[in-house]
């Protein structure tokens, strides 16, 4: 029992696992959740950026070739014309075999060599099929091209304080069935003095749009029922109020819904400012939206 207690005492603690979730400049950390879930390789491969995906692909491919090369080196003479115990010869033969190319200079010369080469060919064919599927999924995955204004604004609209966020259509086609939701994460203090964070949904003047060709300004009326009622810039910062904008629309070319989300920090909200009008009409009445001005604001009223 003393030995068991001593082993338990000396047993190292498991490495703390955590993952970081980033929404623009706002980030969250989850403890107890691994950053990379190796038990779900499909999700891992699809979720990586292109540089990470290509680097991981190269690493896996070189590792497989190196492992099979070590298997060939372990039995000198299993590859014809390969120098004994020379890793480079075995590695290049493995590379050619895994790619199912075979130039003829190196070839299996023993039963052991044939068995290892056959296993490598099977692995190579399976790896190529999996890789083709992953690349197709990454290319075929629809991506949103919504342009969010850098700053939400609070200004008077029809004489009422209104919270606004402008979103532009960054695609060359008109999108359809656009839907938007805005939520505010606000730190509140309970009667007992405990501080907790509560998510409030901000009711929009209009949350759906059948056609989304140019831009759309989302508006939330700050009335007595609004969670933003009575808040100014200092109150936003004091309450650590963060704004979450979720937006989706149907892309007619892809025949699928695309979505995106933007998070704004408390200091991002501009009070007493309004957006510059980005839509103009030419002599023929043709509307034109200049999305390069989507972030521009001018003094308004609060």
| Residues of the chain above pLDDT 70, percent | 86
What is the per-residue pLDDT for 136? Answer: 87
Residue 153's nearest CA partner among 269, 278, 284, 19 is 269
pTM of the predicted protein model: 0.72
What is the per-residue pLDDT for 7? Answer: 47
**Residue holding tokens 């700053």?**
151
What is the per-residue pLDDT for 169? Answer: 92
| Element spanning 124, H or E | helix 111-140
Domain ranges of the chain: 18-140, 146-299
CATH of range 146-299; options 3.30.70.1710, 2.60.40.1400, 3.40.50.360, 2.102.10.10: 2.60.40.1400
What is the per-residue pLDDT for 92? Answer: 93
User: Using CA atoms, how far apart are residues 257 and 176, in angstroms rounded to an integer?
Assistant: 9
User: Using CA atoms, how far apart are residues 194 and 169, in angstroms rounded to an integer?
Assistant: 42
Q: pLDDT-based confidence at 1, cuts 50/70/90?
A: very low
CA atoms within 13 A on the CB side of 226: 20
Average pLDDT, the chain: 85
CATH code of domain 18-140: 1.10.287.70
Residue spans of beta strands (DSSP E) within the chain: 18-23, 26-31, 79-80, 107-108, 146-148, 153-157, 160-169, 175-189, 195-202, 208-212, 215-221, 242-251, 256-264, 270-271, 273-275, 279-281, 287-289, 297-299
Quick check: 252 pLDDT over 50? yes
Beta bridge partners of 191: none
User: Using CA atoms, how far apart are residues 242 and 200, in angstroms rounded to an integer?
Assistant: 10
Token pair belonging to 37: 């879930």
204 backbone dihedrals φ, ψ, rounded to 5°: -90, 150
pLDDT tens digits, one per residue of 104-160:
889 999 999 999 999 999 999 999 899 888 888 888 777 888 999 999 999 999 999
pLDDT tens digits, one per residue of 101-120:
877 889 999 999 999 999 99
pLDDT tens digits, one per residue of 195-227:
888 899 999 999 999 999 999 999 999 999 999
| Element spanning 134, H or E | helix 111-140
- Residue pair 294/146 in contact (Cβ under 8 Å)? The answer is no
């Amino acid at each position: 029992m003393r030995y068991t207690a001593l082993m338990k005492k000396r047993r190292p603690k498991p490495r703390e696992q955590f993952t970081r979730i980033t929404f623009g400049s706002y980030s969250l950390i989850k403890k107890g959740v691994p950053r990379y879930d190796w038990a779900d390789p499909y999700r891992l491969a699809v979720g990586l950026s292109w540089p990470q995906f290509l680097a991981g692909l190269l690493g896996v491919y070189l590792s497989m070739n190196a492992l099979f090369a070590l298997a060939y080196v372990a039995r000198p003479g299993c590859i014809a014309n390969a120098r004994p115990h020379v890793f480079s010869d075995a590695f290049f033969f493995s590379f050619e075999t895994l790619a199912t190319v075979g130039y003829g200079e190196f070839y299996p010369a023993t039963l052991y060599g044939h068995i290892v080469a056959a296993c490598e060919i099977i692995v190579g064919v399976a790896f190529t099929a999996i890789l083709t599927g992953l690349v197709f999924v990454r290319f075929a995955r629809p991506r949103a091209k919504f342009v969010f204004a850098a700053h939400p604004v609070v200004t008077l609209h029809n004489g009422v304080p209104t919270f606004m966020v402008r979103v532009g259509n960054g695609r060359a086609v008109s999108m359809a069935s656009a839907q938007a939701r805005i939520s505010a994460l606000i730190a509140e203090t309970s009667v007992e003095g405990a501080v907790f964070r509560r998510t409030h949904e901000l009711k929009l003047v209009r949350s759906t749009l059948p056609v989304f060709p140019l831009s759309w300004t989302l508006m939330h009326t700050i009335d007595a029922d609004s969670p933003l009622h009575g808040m100014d810039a200092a109150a936003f910062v004091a309450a650590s109020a963060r704004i979450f904008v979720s937006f989706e629309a149907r892309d007619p070319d892809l025949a699928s819904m695309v979505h995106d989300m933007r998070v704004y920090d408390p200091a991002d909200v501009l009070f007493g400012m309004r957006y510059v009008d980005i839509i103009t009409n030419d002599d023929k009445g043709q509307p034109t939206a200049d999305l390069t001005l989507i972030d521009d604001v001018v003094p308004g009223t609060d």
